[in-house]
């Protein structure tokens, strides 16, 4: 049986700077009409940046959760921007790193039920410290954590951010060898 749903009509509810909200009318595989609420989101990038046995994190207040979250450097891909350029820009902006070695690790769908967001994942090593270049509305603390301590934190469920958990998990075998 074909399980694909057919779009009947796109209904834009809200259009913002980084996302748009739709309530699309669709037809199910058995011919019934239904609706899908979808957040259309710009692409994102995230990176585990390593230097001298430390993983570099950012801690910033996240309004949606009303608290500070410890996470790996990340951000949105600007329109017509290459994902490699986007992550290099984000590393410079958030933690002041210029990467001499960047490895692409694939992508994730952070929440498949209601958004089309895709986050591209990277590993950065052989970094050079530069200056940060943050947006005026970003208030970020840079936190460096020893590799083994970061994995203890992961095992103790101290990370809440999905992209951070996934990147740490993906790189565990590689980073814990040392």
Give the Cα separation of 161 and 68 in Å (integer).
11
Give the Cα separation of 51 and 93 in Å (integer).
17
Give the Cα separation of 71 and 87 in Å (integer).
15
How distant is the alpha carbon of residue 26 from its chain centre?
Answer: 29
- Which one from 136, 138, 158, 160 is the annotated catalytic residue? 136
Tokens 């350029």 correspond to what residue? 85
Kindly tell me the number of DSSP H helices and DSSP E strands found in the chain.
Answer: 3, 11
Please, what is the end-to-end C-alpha distance for the chain in angstroms?
A: 49
Question: Helix, strand or coil for residue 171?
Answer: helix
78 catalytic per annotation: no
Q: Return the sign of the alpha-carbon dihedral for residues 104, 106, 160, 53.
A: negative
Just list the catalytic residues. Answer: 136
């Amino acid at each position: 049986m074909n399980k694909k749903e057919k779009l009947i009509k796109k209904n834009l509810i809200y259009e913002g700077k980084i996302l748009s909200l739709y309530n699309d009318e669709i037809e199910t595989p058995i011919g019934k009409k239904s609706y899908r609420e979808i957040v259309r989101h710009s692409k994102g990038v995230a990176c585990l940046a390593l230097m001298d046995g430390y993983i570099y994190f950012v801690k910033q207040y996240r309004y949606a959760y009303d608290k500070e979250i410890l996470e790996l450097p990340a951000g949105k891909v600007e329109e017509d921007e290459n994902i490699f350029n986007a992550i290099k820009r984000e590393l410079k902006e958030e933690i002041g790193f210029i990467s001499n070695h960047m490895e692409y690790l694939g992508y994730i769908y952070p929440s498949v039920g209601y958004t089309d967001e895709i986050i591209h994942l990277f590993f950065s090593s052989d970094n050079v410290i530069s200056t940060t270049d943050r947006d005026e509305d970003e208030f970020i603390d840079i936190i460096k954590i020893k590799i083994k301590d970061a994995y203890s934190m992961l095992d103790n469920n101290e990370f809440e951010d999905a992209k951070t958990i996934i990147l740490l998990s993906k790189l565990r075998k590689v980073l814990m060898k040392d």
